[in-house]
Every structure is written in structure tokens, then in C-alpha cells.
A and B are shown apart, each in its own frame.
Chain A
């Protein structure tokens, strides 16, 4: 029960934080219940959101829904609350009784209520200027433009989420799925060991080199500031190219145009 309340509270706060949208919503629900003449509309725009909020907070229905949907995504119930219908309907019901200039003036005031009460979505908190039509970081484009297609790559964590968005012919030794190893003191298997070894402050080439070869990594990409203990050439890798932010190594046995992608069944 305590766990349910904690989850419901945290998710609720995350959904409605940094704004006055929720108090506005509650005011609008009661305004609709008072002012809307059409009973069907009153029930759909007024009572429906109220019931959804009750279902969300009620421990009995909440725990049941949490079991159906999953604890991690329980907050998605709040998507069903028709915020973007209830608030405009309530505001329009307020405006309906006015005419001419007064209606327009109140329309501007109510628009200002949303603007000032809400959190600006189109802001630099979430967005950054795009520099390419793929809308991926420019450092990803710079690296991918140097790589040939159809090769197996081991890349820095900064690149892995985006490399295949730009060039899906690449295969990666690990991607976001490897983050699970961060919380483990001891890991098993070459991919996991390779990932852990690369997270060390200084890359031990005597560990990473043989593992990378064993896993068939043709290209290795590390941040330019990384330091290495050992010589890559001892394990058959040489420097291939570099960008402002990354250094790329290649397997010396790689021949231009070769397909080294990795498939596992």
C-alpha cells in the first residue's frame, strides 16, 4: 500500500510538476460540472477526468491497474485524462456568456493563463538546434562519414545510441543494452567484459585488444581524450582516422569493401 502511494505520488508529480496546469484542470472540471448544459458533454468532459483521477489515486483500482499495466508505466493512466479537452471546453463555457470586445479580452487573458501557468515545451531544456536532416548529433555524422558501411563496430557510449540512426548498415558490439552491466561488479561473457574494460579511466589494451578481436570488431571508436595502456598494433589494430572528438582504430586485416557485420542466431 505504501509502495503504491509512493509510486502514484512520484508519477503524478512528474506529470504535473513545474506548472499550474493541474489546479487549472481541477477548476475547469468543476466549472464544466456547473456550467455545461448538455448532460452527455458534462459527463465526458467533467466527470470522466474526475473518475480517472479517482481511479488513479484509489489504492484498490490503482493496485489492480498497476498489476495490469506494470509498475513502471502506471503513470500512463494519466494520459487518459483529457486535459486538452476539459480546459479548453471550460474556458469556452466562460467565454460563451460574453460578447464582442469583452469576449476577445477574456480570450486573451485565458490564453495568458495557459502560457503563464504551463511549462514551455518548445524550449532549450529539451531541444537544441538541429545541424542535419537526420537530427542526430553532428559528431555522429562526422564519425559515420569516415566509416565504410557494413562493418562491425565497437563505439564509445556517447555514440552508440545514434550511430545506427545515421548508418543502419553498421552492427554494434553493444548498445544501450550494455548499460545493464554498469551495476554489476562481476560480469560474464566477452561482450560484457569488453564493455566493462572500456569504462575504466585508462583503457588496458592488453584486455580490450584480444577481446575486441575475439568478438570480430573491425572498427573501434573512442573519445579523443582516452588514454591507453599498451600498444594497439600488438593486437592487430591501427589508427584509421579521427575527428575533433573521436579516434577510430581499424583491424589491420580489414580490406576495403569487406562485409564484417556480425549476425548471431
Chain B
């Protein structure tokens, strides 16, 4: 299983890095931030998947067909990142090499140790999630029967189309990864996915810390430690937002609450600090990506983005922030209208 974890880790992070390089170049985002490139790459993967998967599901296309097209698109993005933007990513690598020493602070080291402990614990334990019988079996059914969402996943018997989740088929993402790596989607979700999602979540907090305390590396490390600790010592039930990250990092709602909402906060912070078109487009891509994760994303994300935009517009006395924020929510709004059309 170690080999499968390593292979998936490399595929996910290296692929996301180069896709992110491509996106950052297109959007003219700042050079020299490899972690930002990875985060951007992941959200663009999710956004592209949403754009492709919704029509393919509606037109009852096979999972094999989806895998071929989606893999080709991802490969295209990765190759574009490698070939055409070499200079761009070389600067990222150089920057990483030169700055890595600066990140050896007590805070960063503590955060890293805590994260490794969290991964070790989760790797050797299991949480029995009842909802898996629905969500993980959507992925299993896709791989086994080659059908995307038109078999009732809990029993495997009823040919049905539950409109509640048709716009947010997140399990197909790990079905795709499991098809590429050659493991069962259940293993991909339960055993491999924590190794992808937990570091990704903390990369988002790493970037927030850089944005917040740009001139104080020690403070960035301490911020990261506090953020990691909060994920390990939260409150309430297992569905209390960030608690999801440790409990069920493979569930779409969990990824939404623990990764995408903080990521959206980070991207909006960039928008508020540097009013550049590229940042706003990245915000729009993040909003679209959130729709893949959960139908809740379609509804919650416009509330958050709208509120942040409104507050920033008031604070800066510049209503262009509000208009741009609303524009970034357009993917969610359109999918929300389509959702209402489907369910009524």
C-alpha cells in the first residue's frame, strides 16, 4: 500500500503543481510560490471536472469515456505547465530552494510534526462513516459498472437518478484517481486520500499565514501550529467544520468545509490585498470547484463570497469589490438555478 500511496501522492501533487503553474502564468499571478501553484492546480482540476462531469452525467456517458477525456485534459495542463512555462516553474523551484531554510522555525517544525502524527494516527485507525455506503459506492459503481451515477449506490440494484447530488459528484474524482493507480475506490478514499487532503489543507493555512504575516516567518510558523492544533482539538460532533479533516477527509462536504472554504478565504484575502484580475478569476475557479465537492457548496459559497465582498466593499468604500465578488459566484448561481430546475 505504501507504493500506491506514494504514486497517488506524486500524481496528485506533481500534476497539480504543473497545472497550477499553467494557471498562474495565464492569470499573471505572482511567480515563486510553489505551494500557491499546487493549491491553484488542485482547484482548477476540480473546476474542470465539474464542467466536464455534469454534462457527461446528464448524457449518461460511461466512466471510461470520462476517464479518458478528463485524463487527457489534465495531461494537457500538466504538459503545458512543463513545456511552455519552464522558466516560470524554474523560478518556483529556485525560490523554494533558497527560501526553505527560512521556514525552519519552531512553529513550522511543530506544525510538521503534528501533521505527521495526525497522518500516522489516521493511517492506523478507521472511522466508520455510514454515508460511505452512498458516496464511496458511487465511486465503486463507476469503476465496476462503468456507469456514472445511474445505479443506486447503496444496493447496486436500482437504476435511478437522484437529482440531489447530480451536480456534485465528488466521489468520481477519487474513482478517477483509483482507476489511474489501480486500487479500489474504497481504499483510495479511506487509506490514500488522507495523505492527499491533510497536507493540502495545511498548505492553504501556510499560504494564509504568508499573506497575513508576510514579514515574519516565525509568526507564520506559529500561525500554522495553531491552525493544525485546532484541527486536532476542535469541538462538538464529527461534522463541526474543520473536524472533518481528520475524521472523513474523503467526503466532499468535509473537503468543502476543511479545505475549500479556507482556500476561498485565502484567495479572497489576495483579492482584497491586491485587486488583480487574476486573483478574481482564481476566486471564480474556486467557486466552481466548490460545486463539485457538495451541493452545499453551490449554496454556501455564494453566501461566504458575497459577504466577504460586501464587507470589503464597505471597508474600502469601493463597490467594484462587490461586483467582482458577485461575478466570481456566477458558476455557483448558474448551477443553483439548474439545481432548482432539476428538483422542482
Contacts and interface: CB of A to CB of B under 8 A. Distances in A.
Interface of A: 13-19, 21-22, 39-41, 43-44, 47-48, 51-52, 65, 68-69, 73, 75-85, 87-89, 91-92, 95-96, 103-104, 107, 110-111, 114-115, 117-122, 126-130, 133-137, 152, 160-162, 164-166, 168-177, 261-265
Contacts of A65: 303
Nearest to B160: A264
A162 B128 CA distance: 9
A174 B257 CA distance: 31
B155 A133 contact: no
Contact of B225 (A43, A111, A170): A111
Contact of B303 (A77, A117, A122, A171): A77
B326 to A, nearest CB: 17
A47 B315 CA distance: 11
B2 to A, nearest CB: 11
B273 to A, nearest CB: 7
Contact of B212 (A41, A75, A120, A135): A41
A121 B231 contact: yes
A173 B152 CA distance: 12
- 6 smallest CB-CB distances across A and B, nearest first, come from A118-B233, A19-B235, A88-B226, A168-B140, A135-B190, A175-B154
Contacts of A122: 118, 121-122, 125, 232, 246
Given A40-B316, A107-B107, A133-B187, A79 B226 contact: no
A92 B219 CA distance: 6
11 contacts: A43-B315, A76-B253, A91-B223, A91-B226, A96-B216, A118-B233, A130-B124, A134-B190, A161-B128, A162-B128, A172-B154
A99 to B, nearest CB: 10
B132 A165 contact: yes
Contacts of A75: 239
Interface string B200-244: 000001001100110010110011111101111111111111110
A136 B137 CA distance: 13
Contact of B311 (A47, A84, A89, A117): A47
B269 interface: yes
A172 B208 CA distance: 46
Contacts, number: 261
Interface residues on B, range: 35 or more
Given A164-B133, A171-B155, A121 B125 contact: no
A96 B217 CA distance: 11
B333 interface: no
Interface of B: 1, 106-107, 110, 118, 121-122, 124-128, 130, 132-134, 136-137, 140-141, 143-144, 152-159, 184, 186-187, 190-191, 205, 208-209, 212-213, 216, 218-219, 222-227, 229-243, 246-247, 253, 256-257, 261-262, 265, 268-269, 272-273, 296, 299-300, 303-304, 307-308, 311-312, 314-316
Contact of A82 (B1, B153, B157, B265): B265
Nearest to B219: A92
Nearest to B123: A130
Contact of B241 (A78, A160, A171): A78
B223 to A, nearest CB: 5
Given A80-B261, A126-B238, A133-B187, A174 B316 contact: no
Contacts of A166: 186
Given A41-B269, A83-B234, A169-B144, 17 more contacts: A14-B237, A19-B235, A19-B236, A40-B273, A41-B212, A44-B268, A52-B307, A84-B231, A84-B242, A111-B226, A114-B226, A114-B229, A122-B121, A127-B126, A129-B124, A175-B154, A263-B159
A194 to B, nearest CB: 13
Contacts of B316: 40
Contacts of A44: 265, 268-269, 272, 308, 311-312
Contact of A164 (B121, B137, B242): B137
B219 A95 contact: yes
A166 B218 CA distance: 46
Contacts of B315: 39-40, 43
A96 B224 CA distance: 15
A172 B157 contact: yes
A76 B124 contact: no
Contacts of A73: 296
A77 B121 contact: no
A84 B227 contact: yes
B272 A40 contact: yes
B230 A118 contact: yes
Contacts of A110: 226
A28 B63 CA distance: 48
B156 A85 contact: no
B235 A165 contact: no
B219 A84 contact: no
Contacts of A174: 155
Nearest to A47: B311
B226 A14 contact: no
A133 B296 CA distance: 30
